Amino acid sequence: MIVMSYLATIGATFNGIVDPSIQGFTLTTLGVMVAVWFVARWLRGWRWHQSPLDWAILIWVAAFSLSLLANLDAWRHISIGLWFAGVYIGLWYLLSDVLTNSAARRETIIEGVLLSGIIVILFVFFQLVPWFQQLLTYGTDGFFLPRPGGRMGNPNFLGAYLAVLIPLIVSRLFTTRSFNRVLLGIYLLLALFILLLTYSRGAWIGAATGMVVCAGLSLSRTGGITLRGTLDWWRRQTGTRRVVMNAAAGISVIVVATVGIVLIRSLSEGGRAVGLRTELYRAAIELFQEQPLTGQGLFTYGREMLRLEDILQDRPHSHAHNIAFQIAAELGIIGLIAGAASVVVSGFAVKSNWRAANPRMRPHLAGATGGVVAFAIHQFFDVTAMMPIIALMGLLALALAIVPLTPQVATAKWRRWVFPAGSAALWVGLMVSGLWSSGVYREYTQVLNDVGATRAYGEGARRLNGVVEADPALSLYPFQQGFLYGMAANEGDAEALPLAEAAFQRFVDLEPGYSFGWANLAALKWQAGDSEAALTSIRRAIQIDSGVWYFYWMLAHYQAKVGDSAGAEQSFNEVLRLNPDASLYPEESKPVARSADPKDMSAVSQVVVLLDAGQPEQADALWQANRVWGSGPGLVVEAVVALALGDRPRAVQALEQAENWTFDEIDRAWFQVGTARLAQFDGDLTTMQQDIEAARISARPGPLDADDEALLSIAYAQFMRTVIPRFFLPQANYPMGSPILLYLIDHTG
């Protein structure tokens, strides 16, 4: 329970992976656990048993090896994936050995997982406290449903965790009595409630399938389910139980129908439409077609997808949102064979265990099997196994389901020696490489922390020389060094400019598909006076990712400055086509004095433009049809609209709610805009001016604040490392901040 609680809340989440102090503790703990396992085997004389996945794992190893040999240019990316794959293989044999030597019972492990799940759910409810407060204070006025992520950050990952956990809870309901069953029922309802809130459609489908499998197997544990047996069982139930079960069945039908309707409607919902998935699938198919036998290499989908010029994703993705497409793109035909072999072998192992189990053991096998099915189904909608805790939950359920109840001792001499020796060599290699990489990473993060505190960019960049030399193929390190040199060059350090150019050139040589590297290189070339090279670099960024509006913004600036007015006009037209809201940025920041048709802008942008045009009734009608709740900015817009209509009480109520959703400086800037508008309405021009200036200061980004937050997923999910959240150098003139917020600030008063 302690281990799983730690992994699910800290150690095996992305935050735990990228935090060097947590990373070191987790590695050390893992090493101690493995050492204890080896000592226990030796002291207790454990015997090695055959694993159902032995041959499938050999096929996986062959797929990993061949894909690495075929893609040596991406070996550093692949090595990250291989390290985690090695950990999962090592843990598989550890769990298998523990179970086959009866060092732990399945029931005990399941109870430990369920107890750790309570900790996860508690963190989720702490996250939901502001929502509950909002609901209790204001009722359904402005009601919205949150999407909690808990300690895992992302609702889809939380949904994946719950999808595996829920079948285990269901199985435990079949093996306990009286008061414990009531507690487990409450636990199940809470888990289902949170699962619904995650709005993770893949997790919904996976959990539903896993629950059906678990319940079906549990009910048939003493034999098949027959109509006659079901009717006899129903007749034996008391009247009260029948009423309760009928009510539960009715509620279940309503819930399932509602979820089904929501699921179908979500397929055309903005930001979650089917088209976004098909783009990712198409990228995987193209990558598979390039190298059908070996694929592009393990853990390289995100890197390779970004270089495909015909894929118009608006943000980087590390996986194809479908495990079959993912394997095809990264490991090719051999990987698909390994996946198919694993599925077939696991199915036969589950069947064999079910036949060998007694009625008392079968519910536990049913829960584990349901968990495996839920995990597997979810991976065909979203490859959440990218987060280690999700992969570990799937691995644990798989071990509980298919590790033989009547294991066969490995009789072949080579098995008795090769498997323990191979496991020992694997774990030694994992620990040595992991601790080395963690040590380099710790030095890197120390430099970033110091730069964040001192703003000594040039000194920080020079300190990164040792990091880059120690791990020269990890492209994130030269990128960060180039960024720091670029920041120093922006402050007038002439010696830093050529060093920044060299670092970014090294980055784009290692990662030619990352368009933001080319954009920064263009900005540095422009600063150095090489306008032709700058135009070439920014056009290369556009060629890689033609759907990113701010690359056209940069290009328009450069074209305007070299006298290419027609080119600048054409480029800025692309800006307005891709992001009409960019019209709201301050006029002095635009490369061309032009704005989009307001009808092309987002609904909220149209609202503020209508207010500025003196049309509050039309603005309110549009706002009522497109209100955005659950955030400070939405509530501030509500207040601004109400004030334009002269409805002060409505505005005050919205601002009171907005204050509860003020979590950072940007939220504070929005709130200060609202209070400034309220002061203006009351005729208090002094307070209005003070608040609007405060909003302007709060909205002004710091030199290292995030610009394009979507790019953070590259560092986190494709390198498993942190980074300074700002990706574009000041020289790139990246327009930072919400254009709506800046427009409201400039047009208040």
Can you give the pLDDT at residue 333? 96
In 113-234, which ranges are E strands?
A: none
Kindly tell me if the per-residue pLDDT of 264 is higher than 70: no
3-state secondary structure of 645: coil
Least confident of 304-318, 589-603, 680-694: 304-318
Kindly tell me if the per-residue pLDDT of 670 is higher than 90: yes
Can you give the pLDDT at residue 317? 85
Can you give the pLDDT at residue 138? 66
Question: Counting beta carbons within 10 angstroms of the beta carbon of residue 438, is it exposed (0 to 12), middle (13 to 18) or buried (19 or more)?
Answer: middle
Range 397-416 average pLDDT? 86
Kindly tell me if the per-residue pLDDT of 141 is higher than 70: no
CA–CA dist 505, 482 (Å, integer):
9
Beta partners for 49? 409
CB 525, CB 533: distance < 8 Å: yes
| 349-372 per-position pLDDT tens digit | 999 999 999 888 898 999 999 999
What is the band of 661 on the pLDDT scale with cuts at 50, 70, 90? confident
Range 16-34 average pLDDT? 92
Alpha-carbon distance values, 508 to 254, 331, 541 (Å):
54, 25, 11
Kindly tell me if the per-residue pLDDT of 233 is higher than 80: no
Kindly tell me if the per-residue pLDDT of 619 is higher than 80: yes
Least confident of 80-84, 110-114, 403-407, 420-424: 420-424
Can you give the pLDDT at residue 239? 75
Can you give the pLDDT at residue 275? 55
Can you give the pLDDT at residue 218? 78
Kindly tell me if the per-residue pLDDT of 630 is higher than 70: no
Helix/strand/coil (H/E/C) assignment for every residue in 84-143: HHHHHHHHHHHHHHHHHCCCCCHHHHHHHHHHHHHHHHHHHHHHHHHHHHHHHHHCCCCC
| 278-337 per-position pLDDT tens digit | 889 999 999 999 999 999 999 999 999 888 877 766 678 889 999 999 999 999 999 999
> Phi/psi of residue 49, each to 5°?
-115, 155
Kindly tell me if the per-residue pLDDT of 413 is higher than 80: no
What is the band of 274 on the pLDDT scale with cuts at 50, 70, 90? low
CA–CA dist 213, 307 (Å, integer):
41
| 68-93 per-position pLDDT tens digit | 999 999 999 999 999 999 999 999 99
Nearest alpha-carbon partner for 477 in 433, 452, 507? 507
CA–CA dist 23, 437 (Å, integer):
11
Range 161-165 average pLDDT? 96
Amino acid in position 251: I
| 117-134 per-position pLDDT tens digit | 999 999 999 988 877 877
